[in-house]
Every structure is written in structure tokens, then in C-alpha cells.
Structure 1
Amino acid sequence: MDNRPNVQALIAAFPLPTLVIDTAEQIIALNDAAGKMLGPNAAGRHFTATLRNPKLVRAIERGLRDSAPQSIAYQGIENGADIHYDVHLQQIAKTGQLLVSLQNVEGQAQAEQMRRDFIANVSHELRTPLTGMIGFIETLRTSARDDARARDKFLGTMAREAERMNRLVHDLLSLSRVEAEQRVRPTERLDLRNVLQTTQRNLDRLALKSNVSLKPDLGAEPLFVIGEMDQLLQVFTNLLENAMKYGGADQSVEITSQIIAHDPVLRGPAIGLTIADHGPGIDPIHIPRLTERFYRADSHRSRELGGTGLGLAIVKHILNRHRGRLKISSALGEGAQFTVILPPAPEKS
């Protein structure tokens, strides 16, 4: 008795969509993953009835003629969206039948596109101040060599541009560290009121300079979470600095807390801390993208105020590590509210 499993039983165990095409160019076997991709009626049909991509069709025809294994990449359409696949084709020894497996690499393609976009954005952010500084240096070497007034003006501008590049590099390093630690759970039990008090003390000088009044109302009860002090300080420093800068001078920034019985995203109880300003507000069309790297609702104003376009991306990654989230609400002319939502620390046993 032959106990060897048949082709259908073998490919049923494959995790990738896999099918077998015989010498008559018909699909004679496919696993469940391939069935979901090609439809329930693919078995027994000519392969071109379900696999219509010209590049893939040519590869299958070549694979049926030639026993040499092949790997190709092609782009298909699934539910109206472009999907990228890596396909491996190889004849099954001494049968002439062709084994075809397809791997969806759309996630890899998207990650590669994000990497290219990130490099392009960083290059742009650095090139702009560098171009300006190179121009100023050339002017100081030539026409403004003996002009003390122009020299002082250009050196002041160059100092600001250098500081802008320094902030960008600092934020890039911060983002890299946060991403590297994102899967490592924090372990420290912290009272968020203490985190906010420390943040406020650190920003008192900026608040005084901008004539902004910070108004915390955090209640008398502790707001315990499991977190990392330095990273949570970074979150609230970033949000408070933004509120003071974009809320405008001679305004107030309110910091309030709330106990949330059930947060629908965290699927359980939560602690919310809201930082609200009274600035010009944000058009709601921008809100879903504010935590993207280098996305700015107002690019010119952001650069004037020293923003790098990475602050809210860093906040998002830190809150992801803390199993929390950032909620943003705003309307034009009505200020903006940034709410940090974190799961509470379990009660001490």
C-alpha cells in the first residue's frame, strides 16, 4: 500500500497560496489560501481562466516547458487595490506538473515606500537650511566681508538654522530610540500628576517668556499608570510646548484629567489627560495625519516656530509602547485639545 500523501494533501499544509498545474495546463490542486485568492471554482479549469496577469502567464508557460525553478514579482489587483506578489514556480520531479506559490509582499512594498519617503523628507528638511547657510557663508566671504551689520545679521540667521538642524537630528535620534523600544513593556508605577508637575516646572521659563499661563486641574487622587518617566515627560513636554507655541502668546493652556470607565479603543478603563489651547485651531481635514512623520498642517508656521515635524510621531510611538493612544480634536477658531489616554496601573496586591 502506498502511504505517500497526494499533492492536494501536501499543499494543504503550505501557509502561502499554492496551486499545482498539470501538463494539460489545468489547475489540478490548490490549498485553502489559494482558493480564497482565486475563487472556489478554480480547480479543474485552465490556469489562464483565473491567473490572467501576462507576466505570470508567461512564467507558468515557461515553467511547464523547462524544469528550472523560477521566481518572479508581479502586481495584481485585489478588492480594487494593487497588490504586490513574489511568485515561485518549480516542476514537481518526474511529473511535469508545476508547483506555483504566491506570497503577498504588499506590506514589504509599503514599508519600502515609507523608507524612501522618510529619506526624501529628511533630505529636504536638512537641505533647506544647509542651502541657506552655504549662501550666507559665500556672501560673508565676498560682498559682505567688511560689512559688520550684514555679518551680524547673517550670523544670527545661520545660528538659527544650525539650531533647527540640531533639533531635527535630536528628534530623529529620539524617534529611532522610541521605535527600538516599542515592544519592550515599561515596568515603573508612576503618578501622572507628578509627571505633569515636573513637565510644568521644566517649561516655566518658556511659559513666562511667551506670557502663557499653564492651568493644571488634575484632582487630588493619584493617577497611577505603568510607564517610563523619561518617555512620558517627553510626551507631555512636546504637547505642552506645542500648545504654548501654537496657542499664541498672552493665552492660557488648560491641563485636565478624567477617569474613563471604558475606553472603546483600549477596551477597558483608562485615564485621560487633556491639554487644551486657545489658538487658531486645526482644520479637521488635517487631524488624521498629524502624527505622521513630517506632516504639518501649516508648514511655514511650523518651521518659523522651530518645529521639526516629528514631535507628534514620537508621541504616538511612546504611547503605543505604553499601550495608550492620542486623541486630537479641534476646529478652526476654537483651539485644539490633545488627550493622552493610558490604561491605569492595576491595584497593588
Structure 2
Amino acid sequence: MSQTNDSQTDPMAVYLPATPWTRVTEARWPIVAIAILALLANAFYQVPGVVCGAVVIGLTGMIAYLPRKARTRKLQAVKQRRLRRMWPGTGMKLTVDALPNPCFVADGRGITRYVNEAASKFYGAVKPGDPLSFSLRAPSLLEAFDRVCVEGRPAQITWTEKVPTEAWFEAHLAPIYMPGQAEQGGGGAAPDFVLVVIQNQTEQRRLERMRTDFVANASHELRTPLASLTGFIETLQGPAKDDTDARNRFLAIMLEQSGRMRRLIDDILSLSRIELKAHVQPAEKTDLVEIVRHSADALAPLARELGLEVHTESPDTPVMIRGDRDELIQVTENLLENALKYGSQGKRVDLVVKRQETGGKHWCLQVRDYGEGIPAEHLPRLTERFYRVDVASSRAMKGTGLGLAIVKHILTRHRARIEVASELGKGATFSVVFAGELPHQESDIELALSVPLPAQAE
């Protein structure tokens, strides 16, 4: 009955079978000590052997049949401490689950013991019992983990990852000592667990870069149109103050320059917004065929103005891909507009949605013109900011030099790739390759250059 009450008050205790031999076995060391004392008493103090034997038997019986509660707790303390060091308790798990950031609980050997839901979503299927390095592969983070285990002090580190997109992370590592451990974080005691909390700082870093880039780009690209506006205003206020013809001509130029400034600001802001979320892949699905038809209809007036025809070719059924509809429309319209403006000599532009020739699981959006083409030396730099193959032609077409840079960053976010093929006198083809319903495998945007083009369609 006493054992039942003890187990209720102390659920951590587990009692051994209460046989006489078991109790004598548990008390073997006190019995041995008593026997040695009895032999010494008999040898040096001439105590009769019968008396010594009686004392040994009596003390042995008392020790063997003492209440087992204290001894059992002592025996189970080591087992329970080992158990606590192996797996975190329910309270710790509930606390970790309440945190919004990805969290890992690992033991001193670097074995993952628990992960919260945020970590499972961000890092995929994480199995407790696997080494922490299976999920967190940053060398600096693993080195910090080892330091925390050795020194028993918290640590904080930051690191950068380049794949699939550039991202910044910060990790806080803290040792956890369970109640009852002799040395709580001091004297070289190894922690029972280490809590690893990870913060994704990509958005904050991109915001800082966006501010810096905006100031640099705005100060560089807006200087020319602003200087033109200032010069014309000063001229109208001075020598051309009463010249009606000059005033009308200057006002038209000023309107054009102000429009150029507006387009530059719009493109810079658009590029900054896209870069801000480049590390977040879209989750929604959209129809690539509908996007192509929408873009062709939207740019039909420009095609008629330039005397070109837009030929579309796509499957009769929807082509569902993972992507943001508005951003993909921006990509399609940008590529189609460039083909219309810079390939006007060919009198035709093809806009095609088809299966990729190699590996039938991917879809390809292809925009092809039959104009002058792009020299091979310019192909590697087409997606750079403010890079223009022909500065005069680009400005005449009201280009800002940011169109293909925007396309590159949108496709980076969609884990797609762009391929460019061109040959002088035969036009250029821009191909964007998407995955269908399957996860994207490309780690980043790729600019593939191939010459010559496929045979021209009749």
C-alpha cells in the first residue's frame, strides 16, 4: 500500500520487485562494509566472533528491509536524467510551438529532438533523431552550435545563402539545462539541449538595398532629363521669353523629358518591389495561355501602329503553371513590346506556348521577331540594369534600360529560366521555360546563348 501511495506522489519513481534476495543485492556494499568492520573489531579489539557475526546479521537485515523509497528514487534519478537529456518534455515542446520563427531543439550531440511547425514548413520534412546538419547546412551555424555545447553560453550568428536566391539569416542559439542538474551552465557542464531559433532577415536586407539602389539609380539616370528640363526653363525665362515658336518647341521637349523621368521612376520602383519578394516563390496557379492572349490583345494597337502582325500559337486547353498572373503578364508584355519595337523590320512577331523540346514536363513561352537581331557580344549583358545595345535607338523607343532586368527578377522569383537565341539579320528569340504542375527544379535564372536560330518559319 505504501508503494502505491509513493508512486502516486512521485510519478518519476519506478519500483523494483521486493524479493529478499533483491533487497540484499541492493544493500551489498553496506553489508560488505559492516563485515569488514566486524573482522577488524575481532582482530584488534578481541571482540568475540559470535558477537561480530550477530551484529553483521542484524545490521544486514535492517539495511535490506529499510523503506525502499529513497533508494529507489536514487536508482531511478540517473535513468530519468538520461531520459530528459534524450527527449524534451511537453512544456518545452509547447513553448517552441508557440514561437513564430523556425525553431530546432537538439541535444548536446547535435541530434535533432524536436522542431516546430514553422521549421517543418521552411525546411521540409525534418525527422527527430536525424543530425541537425541534415537540415541546417550553414558551416558557421554548426560551428556556433559546437561552441554553445562546449562553453555553455548563448551565441548569435548571421549568414548568407545564394541558392535558390540570395537570402540572409540570423540564428540565436541558447543552452537549456534541465532542473536538478548540478551545474546550471557553469563549470564546463554540457547543456541538456540547445535551442536554435532562426530569423529570416531577407526582407529587411532587401529593403535596405532597395533604398540604396533607388538613390543610386535615380541620381544617375534622372540627372540627364532633369538637366534638360532646367536648361529649357532657363531659356524660356531668358532669351526665348517672347519667342512663341521656341516656347512651343521647348515645351514639347520638356513634356517628353518629364515622361521619360516618370517612366524611369515607375520602372525603378517596380524593380525594387520585385526584388523585395524575390525569395518568395508564388503559390497560386495561373493559365499561361490566357496570359499570352491577354498580352497580345493589349499590345495590338502598338503592333498596328508599327505595321506588324502578332501571330499567337498555343494549346486549346489551359496550361496551368505556378506563378503570379500580374507579374507574368508584365514579363510577356515586356518581351512582346521589345520584339515589336526592335524587330519592326521583320513585319511579324510570333508568340508561342509549347512543350519544351527536351523533357516534356516543362512549358515554354517563346517570343520571336524577324528583325535585325542582336550581336553576340551583347547577349551576356542584356539583363543588366540600364544596359542598352543601341542607346540612341533605345531612347527613341522610349526605353528605360530596365525592362529585361525586371523580367530577370520576376523569373528568378518564379524559378524559371530565360534563353536567348539571336543571329544578325534573322531576328532574336526569347524563350521562357516554366515547369508545369511539378515543383521547379531550377535554382536560379539562367541566360543561355545559342547561335544560330532555328530555321525561319515560312
Normalising by the residue count of structure 1, what TM-score does the alignment of the two structures yield? 0.63
- What is the distance in 1 between the residues matched to 2:353 and 2:325? 18
Indicate how the Cα distance of structure 1 residues 300 and 120 shifts in structure 2: closer, same or farther if over 3 A, else same.
farther
Asked whether 1:339 is paired with 2:403, we answer no
Q: Which amino acid aligns with 1:144?
A: A
Corresponding residue number in structure 2 for 1:168: 264
- What is the distance in 1 between the residues matched to 2:306 and 2:318? 30
Q: How does 1:273-284 map to 2 (within 5 A)?
A: 273-284=365-376
Q: Determine which of 216, 231, 235 is the counterpart of 2:312.
A: 216
Q: How does 1:216-255 map to 2 (within 5 A)?
A: 216-248=312-344, 251-255=347-351
Secondary structure of 1:272 counterpart: strand
- Kindly indicate whether structure 1 or structure 2 has the higher relative contact order, using CA contacts under 8 Å at least 6 residues apart: 1
Secondary structure of 2:322 counterpart: strand
Contact 1:279/1:333 (<8 A) preserved: yes
Asked whether 1:206 is paired with 2:298, we answer no
- What is the distance in 2 between the residues matched to 1:148 and 1:262? 64
Asked whether 1:155 is paired with 2:251, we answer yes
Secondary structure of 1:143 counterpart: coil
Q: Determine which of 183, 187, 191 is the counterpart of 2:279.
A: 183
Contact 2:320/2:437 (<8 A) preserved: yes
> After superposition, what is the alpha-carbon deviation per residue over 1:185-239, rounded to whole angstroms, capped at 9, x for unaligned?
2122211110011111211221122122111011323222011110001000111
Secondary structure of 1:164 counterpart: helix
- What is the distance in 2 between the residues matched to 1:185 and 1:292? 22
Between Structure 1 and Structure 2, whose CA radius of gyration is higher? 2
Asked whether 1:330 is paired with 2:422, we answer yes
Q: Tell me, which stretches of 5 or more residues in structure 1 are unaligned?
A: 1-13, 19-111
Secondary structure of 1:285 counterpart: helix
Corresponding residue number in structure 2 for 1:134: 230
- What is the distance in 1 between the residues matched to 2:298 and 2:210? 35
- What is the distance in 2 between the residues matched to 1:131 and 1:240? 32
Indicate how the Cα distance of structure 1 residues 324 and 230 shifts in structure 2: closer, same or farther if over 3 A, else same.
same
Larger helix fraction of residues: 2
Corresponding residue number in structure 1 for 2:388: 296
- What is the distance in 2 between the residues matched to 1:270 and 1:193? 14
Normalising by the residue count of structure 2, what TM-score does the alignment of the two structures yield? 0.48
Task: Work out the number of aligned pairs and report it.
Answer: 239
> After superposition, what is the alpha-carbon deviation per residue over 1:146-187, rounded to whole angstroms, capped at 9, x for unaligned?
111111111111111111110110001110111111122212
Query: Alpha-carbon deviation of 1:122?
Result: 3.8
Indicate how the Cα distance of structure 1 residues 307 and 157 shifts in structure 2: closer, same or farther if over 3 A, else same.
same
Query: Alpha-carbon deviation of 1:118?
Result: 7.7
Secondary structure of 2:364 counterpart: strand
Indicate how the Cα distance of structure 1 residues 146 and 249 shifts in structure 2: closer, same or farther if over 3 A, else same.
farther
Q: Which amino acid aligns with 1:276?
A: R
> After superposition, what is the alpha-carbon deviation per residue over 1:106-136, rounded to whole angstroms, capped at 9, x for unaligned?
xxxxxx9999888555423111111111111
Asked whether 1:316 is paired with 2:408, we answer yes
Q: Tell me, which stretches of 5 or more residues in structure 2 are unaligned?
A: 1-138, 144-207, 440-458
